[in-house]
């Protein structure tokens, strides 16, 4: 017979304040890390939104709270949770389980989750950060949570809660932010993690209904803490092309043709996934231009100067506009370079595609780059 503690149904509520208490933030943190609806650009809300909504930043405090394994979903002592602001996309079961706990966590109804675990691990206290295999999600959903926890004085020195599956490059990010390995609590897959006190910052980039909300202030936090020089200026001629050749999807099928053209414009090809974070920051520090397909590697622009121009190779999908808002907030020029899908994938965001060289060259010329 299953241990009742390891097989439970958890109640899901729509508003964080319906189940969580909150740790006070500094006055500056309350103002700087305000959440707002993400825009397609900086002049209009997403289609169908009558106005730009805002929400205060919050760090939930759960006394005797738990985490549902590597889903990194926090639940209260009375088995209640909120998906809004604590998962990247509450409407996608894979996002709720973080792709890791599909065998142990089920979204059985909009207001109910069922969890089944192999055992219980007990901890004193921790700040829930979590992790994700995708570098972009790691940066903006997980690592950026540290901006909120840093604005809560009580959390100074409290260990961070990540997963046993955290990638070395992501652990390197944490070390650069002052959290080496001994400062991490690594949760195990298929285990219920119980804490005397658990702090859970809201995810600084997350969906709610048909809208996406983010905390723009966390972008400056990430750049500063990861070692980006705010005074850095682009060096004319330092141009980077980000390849996705080894990726599972969203590959540029005629990349050899595109790279041959870009070589004439002085671009060098790099794969950020093969580089340490320190090396990525170093390479991007004086980049005049960065080009690449929409995907994790293109997040290299986070380390580039404000004066850099970012060229995103993509095809028409409305939900691919996140980088536009982030680049605009940094102060970088963002140039979409449109191609067309050729090899269809089940997910419309994962098609392989082609971008013709003439379209690439026109974008470079229009942006004012010189050969």
Q: Which of 197, 225, 253 is the last residue of a domain?
A: 225
What pLDDT does residue 7 have?
79
pTM beyond 0.95: the answer is: no
Q: Is residue 330's pLDDT more than 50?
A: yes
Give the pair of three-digit tokens for residue 285: 């520090």
Q: Do 90 and 201 fall into the same domain? A: yes
Q: Do 216 and 314 fall into the same domain? A: no
Task: With respect to residue 361, please indicate whether it lies within any of the assigned structural domains.
Answer: yes
Rounded Cα distance between 190 and 366, Å, is 52
Q: Do 284 and 161 fall into the same domain? A: no
Q: Do 201 and 243 fall into the same domain? A: no
Q: Do 13 and 151 fall into the same domain? A: yes
Q: Do 220 and 301 fall into the same domain? A: no
Q: Do 248 and 221 fall into the same domain? A: no
Q: Do 207 and 262 fall into the same domain? A: no
Give the pair of three-digit tokens for residue 201: 């910052």
Q: Which of 225, 251, 268 is the last residue of a domain?
A: 225
Q: Do 217 and 293 fall into the same domain? A: no
Residue partners of 317: CB distance under 8 A and separation at least 6: 348, 349
Q: What is the pLDDT of residues 256-312, one digit of tens each?
A: 999 999 999 999 999 998 999 999 999 999 999 999 998 888 999 999 999 999 999
Instruction: Give the residue numbers spanning the domain of 281.
Output: 239-366
Task: With respect to residue 244, please indicate whether it lies within any of the assigned structural domains.
Answer: yes
Determine whether 341 is exposed, middle or buried from the number of CB atoms within 10 Å of its CB (0-12, 13-18, 19+).
middle
Q: Which of 165, 190, 225 is the last residue of a domain?
A: 225
What pLDDT does residue 211 have?
79
The total of structural domains in the chain comes to: 2
Q: Do 69 and 205 fall into the same domain? A: yes
Q: What is the pLDDT of residues 71-84, one digit of tens each?
A: 999 999 999 999 99
CATH of the domain at 294: 3.40.50
Q: How far is CA 183 from CA 66, 179, 249, in A?
A: 19, 5, 35
Q: Is residue 153's pLDDT more than 60?
A: yes
Q: Do 330 and 201 fall into the same domain? A: no
């Amino acid at each position: 017979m299953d241990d009742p503690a390891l097989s439970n149904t958890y109640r899901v509520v729509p508003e964080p304040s319906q189940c969580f208490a909150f740790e006070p933030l500094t006055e500056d943190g309350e103002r700087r890390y305000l959440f707002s609806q993400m825009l397609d650009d900086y002049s209009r809300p997403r289609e169908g939104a009558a106005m730009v909504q805002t929400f205060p930043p919050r760090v939930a405090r759960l006394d005797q709270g738990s985490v549902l394994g590597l889903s990194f979903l926090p639940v209260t002592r009375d088995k209640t949770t909120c998906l809004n602001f604590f998962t990247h996309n509450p409407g996608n079961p894979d996002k709720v389980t973080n792709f890791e706990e599909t065998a142990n966590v089920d979204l059985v109804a909009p207001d109910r989750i069922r969890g089944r675990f192999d055992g219980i691990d007990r901890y004193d206290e921790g700040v829930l950060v979590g992790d994700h295999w995708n570098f972009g999600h790691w940066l903006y959903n997980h690592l950026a949570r540290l901006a909120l926890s840093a604005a809560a004085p009580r959390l100074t020195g409290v260990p961070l809660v990540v997963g046993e599956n955290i990638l070395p490059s992501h652990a390197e990010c944490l070390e650069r932010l002052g959290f080496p390995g001994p400062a991490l609590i690594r949760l195990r897959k298929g285990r219920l993690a119980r804490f005397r006190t658990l702090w859970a910052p809201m995810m600084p980039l997350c969906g709610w209904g048909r809208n996406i909300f983010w905390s723009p202030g966390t972008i400056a936090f990430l750049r500063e803490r990861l070692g980006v020089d705010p005074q850095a200026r682009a060096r004319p001629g330092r141009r980077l092309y980000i390849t996705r050749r080894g990726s599972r999807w969203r590959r540029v099928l005629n990349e050899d043709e595109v790279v041959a053209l870009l070589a004439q414009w002085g671009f060098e090809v790099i794969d950020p996934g093969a580089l340490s974070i320190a090396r990525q920051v170093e390479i991007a520090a004086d980049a005049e231009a960065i080009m690449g397909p929409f995907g994790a590697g293109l997040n290299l622009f986070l380390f580039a100067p404000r004066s850099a121009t970012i060229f995103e190779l993509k095809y028409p999908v409305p939900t691919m506009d996140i980088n536009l808002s982030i680049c605009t907030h940094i102060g970088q020029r963002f140039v979409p370079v449109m191609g067309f899908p050729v090899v269809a994938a089940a997910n419309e965001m994962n098609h392989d595609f082609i971008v013709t060289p003439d379209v690439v060259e026109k974008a470079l010329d229009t942006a004012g780059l010189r050969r």
